[in-house]
Amino acid sequence: MSATTTLEGAEILDERNAAPSEAHGSSEVDSVETSGGPPDVPRVPPVARRRPRRVRALTLDDWLALGGSVLASFALLYVGYLHLLDFSGFVGFVVCWYFVFIAVYATVVSIANPRHIVVERLVAATLYLVAALVIFALASTVVYTFVEGWPAFHHLNFFIHAIVGTLIMVGIAVVVAVPLGIGTAVYMTEVRGPGSHLIRTVVEAMTALSDILAGLFVYALLVVGFGLGKTGLAAAIAIAVTMLPLVARASEVALRIVPGSLRQASEALGATHWKTTWKVVLPSARAGLVTAAILAIARGIGETAVVLVTTGATSFFNANPVSEPMTSLPLFIYTAYQTHQPVALTRAFGAASVLLAMVLLLFVVARWIVRDKTGRERSRLLIVQRLFVRDVGGVDDTEADQ
């Protein structure tokens, strides 16, 4: 009786153990048959993106310590400098305020922070103060120039000839100096042919020479020697001579920082040395080359002595660079200031405002040319990827990002 019961219990257990496996197998078969494809892969939950913590961010206590130190130092100095010591002078007050602020701020920060934190906060405060002074000096100069020259903008005809002359002369100088300077840099860094060290020495020496020497050289060689006369072309060549060493030197630095692995990879793929320079090195150094050209243009557009020696000043409109004198904005500012008349000074400030606007426009164009396109291209790629994945596979945006 016990043996029969034991056998029946074992059969029941075997049936119970076999039932889940059979059911599981049948469900898998049913799922395969119904779906007509491989079994579904379990979906992985999206991983939350981690954001880096800003370790240098100032807390509320730091801001309160900074603001309290500024107010406390100002109050102490106001009482001691102006009333107790009976001193005067804005510059002296600002200088003394800085030293009192440093002492107060160091004392406040040292209460709850170690020594290296105190030193770091004092250095940061000093750097921010220096940056603020530089920005204030630059902004005040630009604003003052535009305010003083604003009345002259109601009559633009008085310096149109100077603007046209500047554009013509600087344009000719750019056409001459920029390609020649970049070619010189390529010869010194990529070709390294005979005399490259001598050329580098001459370029470095020319960057330290005064601009008036370039004007005297062009005047003696072209104006007097070849009888070119005082024209805009002579001034343009003189400006190109001043721009050439700056373009060559800055372009050489830009080409030198290109990684050598790019050159090696290009040559390993079978490209020639010239093809590597043209297709790999120069595009990689595009930002540096554009910066070199813009710096040279900003230097050439502000030349005064060179233009005065080679072409001379004139108050007439002349758009022909090969005949008659041609003036420029810096030369117009110089001649207007020499009269010391109120109207002429206003016109000088107006021309200076135009010159500042032209230089600012050059740097804006340079920043636009050398802008970083990586983020924009990546965003476009992500948009296309999301649209493609959504249309084809029906995957959501989280899976597309992964």
pLDDT-derived band at 21, boundaries 50, 70, 90: very low
d(C-alpha 12, C-alpha 16), whole Å = 6
The confidence score (pLDDT) of residue 46 equals 62
Write b or e for each residue in 57-88: b if 16 or more Cβ atoms lie within 10 A of its Cβ, otherwise e. Answer: eeeeeeeebbeebeebbeebbeeebeeeeeee
The confidence score (pLDDT) of residue 80 equals 83
pLDDT in tens, 271-309: 888 899 999 999 889 888 988 998 899 888 888 888 888
How far does Cα 259 stand from its chain's mean position? Answer: 20
* Residue, of 6 and 249, whose pLDDT is higher: 249
pLDDT in tens, 34-55: 445 455 556 666 655 666 555 5
Q: Hey, what are 341's tokens?
A: 């008349």
- In the block, which residue shows the tokens 């080359």? 289
Average pLDDT taken over every residue of the chain: 79
CB-based contact 298:359 (threshold 8 Å) = yes
Q: Hey, what are 52's tokens?
A: 């880096």
Percent of the chain with pLDDT over 90: 16
For residue 203, give every residue at least 6 positions away whose Cβ sits within 8 Å of its Cβ, in sequence order, or none: 184, 188, 245, 248, 249, 252
> Does 82 have pLDDT greater than 70?
yes
Neighbours of 89 (CB within 10 A): 10
CB-based contact 109:65 (threshold 8 Å) = yes
Rg (CA), the chain: 37
Q: What is the DSSP letter of 42?
A: P
CB-based contact 169:232 (threshold 8 Å) = yes
Q: Structure pTM?
A: 0.68
The confidence score (pLDDT) of residue 237 equals 93
